[in-house]
Chains A and B, each alone.
Chain A
């Protein structure tokens, strides 16, 4: 609400120019459009060696594959006698469009916007003297990163391919995993400057069509300069901005992406980003690790429970320590209380300040480790964690108990499969510490109540964020909300996703 109000009062209008280039399609206008662009190239080609009949070839260097231009465009033009025999340029154009050139895709462009977009997309344009239209042939390069194992999602048992920056490669990987013809892939162009392709994928007959339509509508509604980073998409399609919790799940593993599609969710792929998004995203999804379905169901259940415990530990432990040490000393076992007192002797800060200082230091160390190359990052972590921590304890700046509490909370946070969720928990950890230092367990519990209320009020594409704990569309939860049941017994897709077909196996 605050953001909307601000936009209404302060942000000037931002009308979209339609058409973007209000000029007729011609060689001169193309040159004018790409004036100052060193990669723009034009070449006149004589049709079958007839100097009187010249066709202009335009392309952007680096965007096209030269061999393709030479073999599939220039060679037929130079050697095809049928083309040479055409009485007019209009007829030549028709012949080429009908297949005289050996290219898979050809488009007739009659306006500057389409022609320019094709050039940027890796096509070459053929302009015919006296004709107002041009032919566009897709001869783009296929230079892209090869498919490698996922970097951020460890795979022990499972497919080792991962998404790359090319959206078409990504859709092909999805097609290889899900060969069903019901897999629908709709494309939208987002970004006035980047013109990024965003594909919306879903399995027709399984995914809720309303969710698919909603995702497509939100992507279509995006009017930004450039879609270059993940946040450029996430923050525009989620239901609620005023929350640190992730509402869209992402993965770089096609198998996980496809599993989400098969479950009845809707996927999004963005050209230039080696990630696939899945919507809706609920809290339980962010606590499920990709390898859960590869593990034995009992092991997976145990690990999932462990993750939930770690979520509570990373969220509550520092605040609980501050509250107990400052307000509720009777809750501490006597020997532990004596140990804490002995460890805290001569430490100048109160417990709350100690914890906050160390939490901030922890965040700084983490940020420093992320921004540096991996080898240096590890060194920074070791120096920061061990050397500085030990020195701070020995110098009586912080007490060992606080160091242990913050370290345990931090390590517990690393068990979260989603770093976005871990980040949200870190923010709330600070809030709870402050509350715990103000009003002890009472204030801390109030903070937790607010947090639960906040989570209960969030929806992701029409699905309650706390599904299946707080809401499941009024239906009974299939299986256990936390534990993973043996897969042969999980015969229904989650009801909260409102799939068209709930059965997922015989």
Chain B
């Protein structure tokens, strides 16, 4: 009996020591949940004199009596993200807990300098999560946008609403820190959804990153093209003008894209990109659908072409075309990796639209 007790106690001690939560004492920290403030959005901006400015915001919490509590915003400055977060800790009334940060906003100036340090902080920090959604504030500081949003709700609430409605927004899609880190590690390029730098935090295309720094934008039609290429379309409404001058509205409900490498004498010369768009007629006469399908295909092809043009112009494979080509022909992976020069590749595009059904009550 006593032997077993000793054995179990020893096993417990060893296991707790392996937990790694603390270096000095093996047990993790105990903190009462009601004595902490849950930060739900964090903004990181570059300061003029160097270093970073951290702006953290809680959500618009509902109090126990149902009254809404305004989002708390705290600031911290430091040479590094860790330093800034530590400084912000001192500014809060209670312990700031970053384990529930769901949105990470990056200011444009910081993005132009590089976001690798910020993403690495998220990767290594014990509280931050890799599934945190990352956003880029276009044309301004992320902290100001977060503070402005906190005046009427919170940045987290606005961005969460946008994420929930992402299917209805065909020109944006949420991206996690993990996805961006994966893209950067794989191809050196990635993209991050952009939002306006005011309190509205409206979707504004994508920022394209190369080697960890912002190098360009995919906005407007190019942003739609990104969603089509990555099959992230659920309810895009496209207005199509017929040859007789009437306008019909179709809802694009899906897109299936394939990328196939093109070889000539064992040399990679281009990529064949095929996109099959599925749509429903939602307004207009259900006649001559073939004409509508052709018109829709032209519109969507133009969008995809713009997204591809951004990629070639910036020499940034932010759409991960190389990986798609490798997945299509895994036996040629090595050759594709060696010969993949995006600007030199001929990108042929074929878009096929299908209008499957309509709601003709007659």
Contact = CB atoms under 8 A, between A and B. Distances in A.
Interface of A: 1-2, 242, 325-330, 332, 334, 337-338, 340-345, 347, 350-351, 437-440, 442-443, 446, 449-450, 453, 457
B29 interface: yes
A75 B4 CA distance: 70
A342 B33 CA distance: 10
**What bracket does the count of chain B residues touching chain A fall in?**
20 to 34
A326 B33 contact: yes
Interface string B125-139: 001010000000000
B8 A453 contact: yes
Nearest to B127: A330
Nearest to B98: A330
Nearest to A346: B64
A325 B28 contact: no
* 8 pairs of A and B residues whose beta carbons are closest in the complex: A330-B99, A344-B34, A334-B100, A446-B12, A325-B33, A342-B64, A439-B27, A442-B19
Contacts of A343: 64
B31 interface: yes
Given A326-B30, A329-B36, A338 B15 contact: no
Contacts of A438: 27
A334 B38 contact: yes
Interface of B: 1-2, 4, 8, 11-12, 15-16, 19, 21, 27-34, 36, 38, 40, 59, 61-64, 97, 99-100, 102, 127, 129
A342 B102 CA distance: 20
Nearest to A342: B64
B59 A334 contact: yes
A42 B128 CA distance: 92
A21 to B, nearest CB: 43
Contact of B33 (A2, A341, A440, A449): A341
Given A242-B1, A338-B62, A439 B28 contact: yes
Contact of B64 (A327, A345, A457): A345
Contacts of B27: 438-440, 442-443
B1 A334 contact: no
10 contacts: A326-B30, A329-B33, A329-B38, A329-B100, A334-B40, A334-B100, A341-B61, A440-B27, A446-B11, A446-B15
Given A326-B31, A330-B127, 5 more contacts: A337-B33, A338-B62, A342-B63, A443-B12, A457-B4
B63 A325 contact: no
Nearest to B8: A450
Contact of A330 (B4, B21, B62, B100): B100
Contacts of B8: 450, 453
Nearest to B40: A334
A350 B36 CA distance: 13
Nearest to A396: B64
B33 A340 contact: yes
B100 to A, nearest CB: 5
B31 A329 contact: yes
B100 A327 contact: no
B12 A329 contact: no
Residue of A342, A350, A437, A449 ringed by the most chain B CB atoms within 10 A: A342
Residue of B1, B29, B30, B40 ringed by the most chain A CB atoms within 10 A: B30
B172 to A, nearest CB: 22
Contacts of A329: 31, 33, 36, 38, 97, 99-100
A327 B34 contact: no
Given A1-B1, A439-B16, A327 B59 contact: no
A1 B11 CA distance: 23
Nearest to B12: A446
A344 B31 CA distance: 13
Contact of A338 (B11, B12, B61, B99): B61
A342 B62 contact: yes
A338 B19 contact: no
B127 to A, nearest CB: 7
Residue of B33, B40, B99, B127 ringed by the most chain A CB atoms within 10 A: B33
Contacts of A326: 30-33
Residue of A242, A325, A340 ringed by the most chain B CB atoms within 10 A: A325
A116 to B, nearest CB: 43
A338 to B, nearest CB: 6
Contacts of A439: 16, 27-28
Contact of A341 (B16, B28, B30, B38): B38
A450 B13 CA distance: 13
A345 B15 CA distance: 34
A393 B15 CA distance: 38
Given A342-B63, A442-B15, A446-B12, A327 B127 contact: no
Contacts of B38: 329, 334, 337-338, 341
Contacts of A328: 28
A246 to B, nearest CB: 20
A330 B1 contact: no
A443 B12 CA distance: 8
B29 A327 contact: yes
Contacts of A450: 8, 12
Given A329-B33, A329-B99, A440 B61 contact: no
A499 to B, nearest CB: 32
Contacts of B34: 340-341, 344-345, 347
Contacts of B16: 439, 442-443, 446
A454 to B, nearest CB: 9
Contacts of A440: 27-28, 30
A344 B29 CA distance: 20
A392 to B, nearest CB: 15
Contact of B61 (A330, A342, A350): A342
B102 A350 contact: no
B126 to A, nearest CB: 9
Given A1-B1, A338-B38, A439-B16, A327 B30 contact: yes
B33 A344 contact: yes
Residue of A344, A345, A442 ringed by the most chain B CB atoms within 10 A: A442
A329 B38 CA distance: 10
Contact of B59 (A242, A338, A350): A338
A399 to B, nearest CB: 8
Contacts of B15: 442, 446
A338 B63 CA distance: 9
A369 to B, nearest CB: 31
Contacts of B61: 338, 341-342
Contacts of A342: 61-64
A334 B103 CA distance: 12
A154 B29 CA distance: 48
A321 to B, nearest CB: 10
A438 B19 CA distance: 14
A449 B8 CA distance: 9
B204 to A, nearest CB: 25
Contacts of B30: 326-327, 437, 440
A340 B32 CA distance: 11
Contacts of A330: 99-100, 127, 129
A337 B100 contact: yes
Nearest to A437: B30
A329 B127 CA distance: 9
Contacts of B29: 327
A330 B130 CA distance: 12
Contacts of B2: 1
B19 A325 contact: no
A242 B4 CA distance: 13
Given A341-B38, A343-B64, A439-B27, A2 B1 contact: yes
